Chain A
Amino acid sequence: MWTWFYKLASPPYVYGAAAALVPWFLGAAALALGYGLIDGLAIAPPDYQQGDAFRMIYVHVPSALLSLTVYTVMAAASAVALIWRIKVGHAVSAAAAPIGASFTLLALVTGSLWGRPMWGTYWAWDPRLTSELILLFLYVGVMSLRSAFEDPERGDRAAALLATVGVVNVPIVHFSVVWWNSLHQGATIVKLGAPSMAGSMLWPLLSMWLGFMLFFAAVLCIRLQGEVLNRERQTKWVREAIMVRREVKS
């Protein structure tokens, strides 16, 4: 039963699996994003309150959800690496960090652009916005800590601890609209019960969310290959993977 777990801990297996999965993830992401964009931008009806401005939801919400998901993935991989000393976990965590940081930045910028017409301001020191900004700082902190060490293994472990400690911020971001009086809208999809959004607006959103997730998976796999190579440079399997077969597709 545990064989699949052991396989996941093996760098050559992970490298090969990542390489094979990239085109599938990218293709599926393209389909989901394509449908979501067309439906969301052109077909879905304008909101009765926000007009066409609501369409920014189709990039804002997926990127915000992903910013949290990617941090959780990073923290989980870090925890696995620290507890069970599985080095692949560090590779996953290192690969996920810049992707998650970029999604967090995207969420903040798209949210800011959406806030200007809706709330009249580009920024507010509101619990949701502030905790999302803290999330960005946490990502940057993890990446900076990892690169500050001369010994990459030590850097990996230090960054892993910080990533694990910082995961407390993820529920804070998610529940901030529940726990405090926030300017930001409450949860409409990730909550118990049916989503509180019309179907014609919801489907493109779900598709964009799925597309972003698949895209993250694809980019993670590409970066993961690089991270695994960096950590396993002198091993035999790397020699065989790199020298003997010059792969064309990443």
Chain B
Amino acid sequence: MDNTFWSMGGYARYVWPCFAFACAVLAWNLWSARRYHAAARLRAQRALQMAGGGES
């Protein structure tokens, strides 16, 4: 299974970059969404701190 699997019947240089890009896009989506949420939470905390006069 090993060599035929990795060579993908000769199409390896298309198939593997394809799946690699797909993984990259999925990973980017997760990472970007988490970052967005974290930044939003931070901004909300700051806004509430300023409004509440420093109480946390």
Which residues of A are at the interface with B, using a C-beta cutoff of 8 A? 37, 41-42, 46, 51-53, 55-56, 59-60, 63, 98-99, 102-103, 105-106, 109-110, 113-114, 116-117, 215, 218-219, 222-223, 225-227, 229-230, 233-234, 238-239, 242-243, 250
* Whole-angstrom CA separation of A234 from B49 in the bound complex: 10
Distance of A215 from chain B, by nearest CB (Å): 6
Interface centre among B15, B38, B43 (most CB of A within 10 A): B15
Residues in A whose Cβ lies below 8 Å from that of B44: 229-230, 233, 238, 242
- Per a CB cutoff under 8 Å, which of B10, B30, B40 touches A219? B30
B11 touches A222 (CB 8 A): no
Distance of A156 from chain B, by nearest CB (Å): 15
B17 contacts partner chain A, Cβ-Cβ < 8 Å: yes
Chain A: interface secondary structure? Answer: helix
Residues in B whose Cβ lies below 8 Å from that of A250: 34, 37-38
A-B pairs with beta carbons under 8 Å apart, 13 shown? A42-B1, A106-B25, A218-B30, A219-B33, A222-B36, A223-B36, A223-B37, A226-B38, A230-B40, A233-B48, A243-B48, A243-B56, A250-B37
A42 touches B5 (CB 8 A): yes
* Whole-angstrom CA separation of A46 from B15 in the bound complex: 13
Distance of A197 from chain B, by nearest CB (Å): 18
B26 touches A215 (CB 8 A): yes
A114 touches B14 (CB 8 A): yes
- Per a CB cutoff under 8 Å, which of B8, B25, B29, B47 touches A55? B8
Residues in B whose Cβ lies below 8 Å from that of A41: 5, 19
